[in-house]
Amino acid sequence: MRTYLDHAATSPVRPEVARQVAEDLTSGLGGWANPSAQHTAGRRLGALLAEARARLAGALGVDAHEVLLTSGGTEADALVVSGRARALPGGRLVVSPIEHPAVLDSARTAAAELGVGLSLLEVDGAGRVELDSLARAVAPAADAGHSPASLVSVMAANNETGVVQDMAVLVARVREASGAGHPEEAGYVPVHSDAVAALGKVPVDFHGWGLDAMSLTGHKLGAPVGVGALVLRRDLALTPATGGGRQERGIRSGTQDVVAARALALAVELAIAEQQEQETRLAVLRRRILEGAGALPGVHATLPEDADHVASTAHLWFEEADAEALLMALDLAGIDASAGSACHAGVAQPSHVLLAMGFQEGPARSTLRCSLGRETGSDDIERLLAALPAALEGARRAWKVTHKEQ
């Protein structure tokens, strides 16, 4: 029996979603017509697509026209970051240094290739954005001596550590510091949040937070890989990098996948409905991991006690331990976990998130992320804690070998 503790990378497809997908694919729904076509089959698929979009919008508390379907969170992030850079070529992107690579790499590419400005915010030791840093970054260009901010992007919950930002406070600070509180006012700075790691884990409120754009994906919530969405305020201008049929409000082209859209809508509905119950249950398991692992010498919780966090992620760092050796030993013991974001899997490098939080390179290389999901039970946690001492001992031996001559 294996123990899967990498739900932050991908969660299993929910049984309800799997059944719906199977029925859609075998009933004739799954691809015999283009939902943009004007014939009877196309109109039927178009109606089902509109229904899925409306259901997704209803679950998120937004308008259906604000929901753009994408292939996942990475594409949604890239669309908004790159789209704003292209829409305002003389502007400046403002992002936190602990963002997902979909945001950070898109922003750096835009800065290098399009010549837009780029400002990285400061974060504290828990990874929370420093409000004064944010205020300086979005101050009117005439006052601050820099190009005008065209977008602020801060993830609602970090995909590695699980720290949660107070998005309502951050957005309010942007409005105050920029001097423009409404989209029609000169100098208004739109705010985007990558909510991939937050949705279904903590309450997410697009309009209540005052956001202009928000990214989400399905495969963290129990939908198949390959579908996500960008929630986008109606009048926020984005310039796409590619052409095509321009199906999604002229921003994202390509024939829409109706089966995937329906799967995403169902998965989001289920995840939001059970969010509070799962949060309560997983908080107990997370606490058991932190207490059990923390009793071992040289093992530390990454986040301080007072940091808001998702209940599904327990993040640890180790003194003088080789993370790759640790993960390999846990894998051999039947434990599937990770050192951090799976988007950098196979690349031995320190976590950019921990480095931004002020960690030295050694601890930033020696981490373990245990992320929990609907299927995770107390037996899984006990198997992890039983395997961890021997795995850690081996990881420390490996560390000593690699640092012997340094």
Residue 344: exposure state from Cβ atoms within 10 A (0-12, 13-18, ≥19): middle
Residue 262 near residue 30, CB atoms below 8 Å: no
Residue 299 near residue 392, CB atoms below 8 Å: yes
Residue 185: exposure state from Cβ atoms within 10 A (0-12, 13-18, ≥19): exposed
> Cα(41)–Cα(254) distance, rounded to whole angstroms?
18
> Cα(308)–Cα(201) distance, rounded to whole angstroms?
12
- Taking phi over 0 as left and psi of -120 to 50 as alpha, with beta for the rest, 39 belongs to beta
Rg of the chain, C-alpha, whole Å: 22
Residue 237 near residue 191, CB atoms below 8 Å: no
> Cα(192)–Cα(336) distance, rounded to whole angstroms?
32
> Cα(311)–Cα(288) distance, rounded to whole angstroms?
12
Q: Is 370 a catalytic residue?
A: no
Closest CA to 383 of 308, 304, 288: 288
Residue 182 near residue 188, CB atoms below 8 Å: yes
> For the chain, first and last CA: distance in Å?
40
Residue of 47, 343, 386, 401 marked active site: 343
Backbone torsions φ then ψ of 318, nearest 5 degrees: -125, 145
Residue 296: exposure state from Cβ atoms within 10 A (0-12, 13-18, ≥19): middle
Torsion of CA 30, 32, 37, 42, to 10 degrees: -70
Catalytically active residues are: 343
